[in-house]
Amino acid sequence: MAIRNPDGSIYSVSGSTQQFDPESPEHNLFNQWDQEAIRQGGSPIFYYEVFIQPQTVDKLYLEDRGKHWSPIGIELWCFYEPVANQNLQGLFGIDAPDEMIFELNYRETLQKLGHVPKIGSRIFSPHKSESWKIIQRNDGEFKMWGQLRLQLICQKFQESTTDNSKTIHQPLPDFKIN
């Protein structure tokens, strides 16, 4: 059984089955609008990429105690809501389970970094002078089959004496924040 047109002829698809061209001017317009909206209403953050050294990865815990972070931060713009400190007192002392979601423009992030942000990298938010560690990457908003937003889920960064986490020098922003 075939699908037929109202005149009785067999229905055939005309043209391409692709509905949205990812390189279309309309998609670029959405990206430019999103980048501008984030710059107007968002905040700057600094991204410090993590570098893992395979020879220093602990075989039991699968973590690199010799990891390094880039000493130079890359400025990215994003939306985020600062969370209030919840420092809970746990069995082993103060615990900081705070998580934050940073929403960035996907295309601008790829243009600045050359790749998606790495899990384990650090983010410094100058708004409250806090450091965060990326624990998860999610796809954000989509328009016309193209990704507009990138979500970075981060936990508070805790410095450690067993790795090189104190080697980052965070630059101060070049604008005044109250």
- The whole-number pLDDT of residue 76 equals 92
Of the two residues 147 and 46, the one the predictor is more confident about is: 46
Q: Which two tokens stand for residue 178?
A: 């109250």
Query: H helices then E strands: how many in the chain?
Result: 2, 12
Give residue 62's identity as a one-letter amino acid code: L
Give the model confidence (pLDDT) of 6-41 as tens digits: 888 888 776 655 565 656 676 678 888 888 898 998
- The whole-number pLDDT of residue 55 equals 75
- The whole-number pLDDT of residue 117 equals 92
- The whole-number pLDDT of residue 163 equals 55
Among candidates 132, 104, 105, 173, which has minimal Cα distance to 48? 132
Kindly state the DSSP code that residue 173 receives in the 8-state scheme.
Answer: P
Give the model confidence (pLDDT) of 78-136 as tens digits: 998 877 666 666 556 565 557 889 999 988 999 999 999 988 889 998 888 888 889 98
- The whole-number pLDDT of residue 103 equals 92
Look at residue 26 and give its three-state secondary structure: helix
Q: Are strands 99-105 and 74-79 parallel, antiparallel or unpaired?
A: antiparallel
Q: Is 54 left (phi over 0), alpha (psi -120 to 50) or beta?
A: alpha
CB 17 within 8 A of CB 99: no
Is the pTM higher than 0.85? The answer reads: no
